[in-house]
C-alpha cells in the first residue's frame, strides 16, 4: 500500500499523537492543512502522484475538500476516511468505526466500494462535487433566532430543530424544481435536501433510505405549512420518519435543478456554496471508497 494522509490539525486533537505514531509505523505520508482549500490542493497533488490510497482525516468539510481534489484526475485513487469531526455524517453511512485507530486499521484491509458523487453546477461558480448531501433553505431569515450551535450544525435546516415556534413570520421560497428531463414544477418550499448519504447535522436522518451506489440522488422537499405542521416534521425528522409527512416529498432522480426566490442558499457537505440557480447531478460509481465491515448500500429496514 502506498498511502498518504491529509490531516486537519484542528480535528480530533486528543487522538492525533497516537495516530501520528501508528501512521509512521505503516509508512503513511502525512500532510497537514493550514487553511481552507489546502486539503483540495493536497489531494489533487496526491491524485497526480502514485498514491493508491488517500486518507482524509477530519470532519465532513475535510472529506469534501479531499474529494474535490481527487476528482481532478480521470482515475482517482481510493479514498479512506479517519473520522475526526463533530458530525462525521458520511462515516455514519459508511459504517466506519468511531475510533480513529480502528478506522486507520481499515485503510489497507477494509472493503472498497465505488460510490456515487453529487456534481454541483451553480450558475455563479465552478463545478464542485459533494459526497454526502446538499441542503438548501432558510438561513438569513432565521439568522437572528438561532443559536451559533444550531447554525453551525444545521445551517439551512436549523429552524426545524427548535426555531419554528420563534418564527411566526417565516415565508416559503417560491421554487421551481426540474427533475431529470422533466419540465419545472412550482412549489412553495422551506427546505430542499439533495442526498447521496443518509444523515446530516451529526446523525440526523435527512435521507434515511438513500443508497450511495444506486446512481440516483434522493431529493427531499419540505413544503410550506403551518408552524404546528412544521413542528411535526421536525419531530419526525429526528425520528427518521419524516418522509411520510404530507408536507414532505421524496424522489430518487438522476438530476435536479433548483431556482428560488429569494435565492435559496445551499451548502454542500456542510460548506456554504451558492444562492443562485443550481443543478445537482448524480455521478454513478465515481470514486472508490473504503467502507466499514457493517456497511450496507441498501439501508436496513427500520
The pLDDT value given to residue 29? 95
Q: What is the mean pLDDT of residues 120-128?
A: 91
| Local confidence band at 11 (pLDDT 50, 70, 90 cut-offs) | confident
Would the pLDDT of 145 be above 70? Answer: no
Instruction: Please name the residues in contact with 152: beta carbons below 8 A apart, sequence gap of 6 or more.
Output: none
What separation in angstroms does the CA of 153 have from each of 40, 60, 203, 271? 22, 11, 10, 11
Q: pLDDT tens digits for 25-49?
A: 999 999 999 888 999 999 999 999 9
Task: Please say if the pLDDT value at position 154 is more than 60.
Answer: no
* Residue 153 binned pLDDT confidence (cut-offs 50, 70, 90): low
Residue 114 has pLDDT above 90, yes or no: yes
Structure confidence at residue 140 (pLDDT): 36
Look at strands 29-32 and 3-7 and give their pairing: parallel
The pLDDT-based confidence of 137 (bands split at 50, 70, 90) is: confident
Cβ atoms within 10 Å, residue 18? 12
| Predicted structure pTM score | 0.90
Q: Does the structure show a pLDDT above 80 at 144?
A: no
Cell of 256: 435536479
Confidence of residue 139 (pLDDT cuts 50, 70, 90): very low
Q: What pLDDT does residue 151 have?
A: 53
Domains of the chain and CATH, by start: 3-110 (3.40.50.10330), 121-285 (2.60.200.40)
Between strands 53-58 and 78-83, the pairing is: parallel
Amino acid at each position: 500500500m502506498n498511502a498518504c494522509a491529509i490531516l486537519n490539525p484542528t480535528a480530533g486533537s486528543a487522538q492525533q499523537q497516537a495516530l501520528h505514531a501508528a501512521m509512521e509505523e505503516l509508512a503513511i505520508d502525512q500532510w497537514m492543512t493550514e487553511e481552507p482549500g489546502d486539503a483540495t490542493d493536497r489531494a489533487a497533488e496526491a491524485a497526480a502522484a502514485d498514491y493508491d490510497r488517500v486518507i482524509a482525516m477530519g470532519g465532513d468539510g475535510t472529506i469534501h475538500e479531499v474529494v474535490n481534489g481527487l476528482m481532478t484526475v480521470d482515475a482517482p485513487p481510493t479514498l479512506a476516511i479517519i473520522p475526526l469531526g463533530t458530525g462525521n455524517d458520511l462515516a455514519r453511512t459508511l459504517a466506519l468505526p468511531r475510533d480513529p485507530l480502528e478506522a486507520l486499521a481499515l485503510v489497507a484491509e477494509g472493503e472498497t466500494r465505488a460510490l456515487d458523487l453529487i456534481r454541483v453546477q451553480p450558475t455563479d461558480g465552478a463545478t464542485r462535487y459533494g459526497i454526502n448531501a446538499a441542503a438548501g433553505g432558510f438561513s438569513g431569515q432565521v439568522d437572528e433566532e438561532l443559536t451559533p450551535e444550531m447554525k453551525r450544525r444545521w445551517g439551512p435546516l436549523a429552524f426545524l430543530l427548535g426555531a419554528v415556534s420563534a418564527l411566526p413570520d417565516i415565508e416559503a421560497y417560491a421554487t421551481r424544481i426540474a427533475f431529470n428531463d422533466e419540465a419545472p414544477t412550482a412549489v412553495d418550499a422551506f427546505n430542499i435536501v439533495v442526498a447521496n448519504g443518509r444523515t446530516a447535522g451529526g446523525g440526523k436522518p435527512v435521507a434515511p433510505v438513500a443508497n450511495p451506489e444506486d446512481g440516483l440522488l434522493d431529493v427531499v422537499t419540505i413544503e410550506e405549512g403551518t408552524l404546528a405542521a412544521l413542528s411535526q416534521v421536525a419531530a419526525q425528522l429526528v425520528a427518521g420518519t419524516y418522509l411520510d409527512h404530507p408536507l414532505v416529498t421524496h424522489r430518487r432522480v438522476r438530476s435536479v435543478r433548483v431556482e428560488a426566490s429569494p435565492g435559496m442558499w445551499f451548502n454542500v457537505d456542510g460548506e456554504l456554496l451558492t444562492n443562485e440557480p443550481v443543478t445537482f447531478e448524480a455521478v454513478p460509481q465515481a470514486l472508490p471508497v473504503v467502507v466499514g465491515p457493517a456497511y450496507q448500500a441498501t439501508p436496513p429496514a427500520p
